[in-house]
């Protein structure tokens, strides 16, 4: 009988590289049984070795999350091989970097099917097994772009917005049913992942995340924390995410104009030489034999920590501190008035 977090069964989609790869490693360090779902065989084998070296038990499951049949079959395979699924992390995605008028309907559909419907399929598959047991956690990997669309990423922004709305509706339904299955979402900043080495692009220069850029381990720690504490409806990671979402809520029109001026240049880098540049829209990037790992090509300018992460994880402690500070200030003012 399983008795602790270190014996949990965790499913990670998009596990062959980037954030998914870093999440898999983090769960491996806990000794979890980690099912790795992705298309690329080379990346899956590398991720399995990472989990094994970290102390976990890996299971590789080649799957295209755009296919509901493949995802449902993968979930059943995980249950049969590893046991009941405790945590399901939806991280798989793809994208096209280009102005909207340069994206074909087929490309836009593919991004939507992988990024949005892949999340829907994963959630359906997880719930099929979790609901009868009345336990389990689903973590949706989101982005600041779930609230704030940016130029050159219309397909990806639209998919992340869709995940946000879908997850809110699902959360309310689970609350209505008094279900003990939990769902939460983690909104991420720009992250140094191999995405920018394989995303389909029609830009003049190499695509890059909107700075400031964080290492995938920062995102992974936040995602694993969310899996441990799914009572929160969502988590914001990075000060840049907080600023973007607050600015979008307060003055979206001004932010439109700012991004119109700065958004194109902020997502391109003319100084990057990338020998493993690929295109993974229709085929896995690692079909070229290269294991992309967790990190992208922006290690030199990426942050390995986020000072905002601790207060994001400890809202209660922050609230108590704010109240205490207000109390002290109030007492001082009272004393000065006497």
The angle that helices 18-29 and 216-228 make with each other, rounded to 10 degrees, is: 60
Please say whether the beta carbons of 157 and 149 come within 8 A: yes
Confidence band of 305 (pLDDT split at 50, 70, 90): confident
Residue-wise pLDDT tens digits, 29-82: 999 999 999 999 999 999 999 999 999 999 999 999 999 999 999 999 999 999
> By the 8 A CB rule, do 181 and 174 touch?
yes
pLDDT bin (cut points 50, 70, 90) of residue 229 is: very high
Positions annotated as catalytic residues are 156
CA proximity to 7, closest of 90, 85, 73: 85
| Average pLDDT rounded to a whole number, residues 160-177 | 98
Q: How confident is the model at residue 336 (pLDDT cuts 50, 70, 90)?
A: low
Per-residue confidence band for 7, with pLDDT thresholds at 50, 70 and 90: confident
Q: How confident is the model at residue 275 (pLDDT cuts 50, 70, 90)?
A: confident
Give the confidence band of 273 by pLDDT, cuts at 50, 70, 90: confident
Q: What is the mean pLDDT of the chain?
A: 92
Rounded to two decimals, the pTM is 0.90
| pLDDT-derived band at 309, boundaries 50, 70, 90 | low
Residue 199 is given by DSSP the state S
């Amino acid at each position: 009988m399983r008795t602790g977090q270190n014996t949990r069964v965790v499913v990670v989609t998009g596990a062959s590289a980037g954030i998914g790869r870093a999440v898999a490693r983090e769960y491996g360090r806990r000794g979890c049984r980690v099912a790795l779902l992705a298309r690329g065989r080379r990346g899956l084998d590398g991720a399995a070795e990472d989990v094994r070296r970290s102390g976990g038990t890996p299971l590789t499951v080649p799957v295209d999350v755009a296919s509901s049949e493949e995802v449902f079959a993968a979930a059943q395979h995980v249950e049969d091989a590893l046991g009941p699924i405790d945590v399901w992390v939806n991280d798989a995605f793809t994208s096209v970097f280009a102005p909207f008028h340069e994206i074909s309907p087929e490309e836009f559909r593919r991004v939507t099917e992988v990024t949005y419907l892949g999340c829907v399929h994963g959630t359906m598959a997880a719930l099929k097994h979790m609901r009868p047991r009345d336990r389990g956690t689903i973590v949706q990997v989101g982005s600041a772009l779930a609230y704030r669309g940016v130029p050159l990423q219309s397909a990806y922004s639209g998919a992340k917005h869709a995940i946000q709305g879908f997850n809110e509706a699902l959360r309310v339904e689970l609350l209505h049913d008094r279900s003990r299955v939990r769902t939460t979402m983690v909104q991420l900043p720009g992250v140094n992942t191999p995405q920018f080495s394989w995303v389909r692009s029609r830009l003049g220069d190499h695509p890059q995340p909107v700075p400031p850029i964080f290492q995938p381990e920062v995102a992974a720690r936040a995602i694993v924390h969310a899996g441990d504490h799914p009572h929160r409806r969502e988590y914001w990671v990075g000060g840049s995410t907080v600023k973007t979402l607050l600015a979008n809520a307060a003055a979206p029109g001004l932010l439109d104009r700012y991004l119109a001026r700065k958004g194109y240049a902020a997502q391109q880098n003319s100084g990057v030489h990338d020998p493993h540049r690929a295109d993974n829209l229709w085929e896995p990037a690692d079909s070229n034999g290269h294991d992309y790992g967790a990190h992208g090509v922006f290690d030199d300018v990426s942050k390995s920590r986020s000072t905002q992460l601790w207060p994001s994880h400890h809202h209660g402690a922050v609230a108590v501190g704010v109240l205490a500070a207000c109390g002290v200030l109030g007492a001082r003012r009272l004393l000065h008035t006497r």
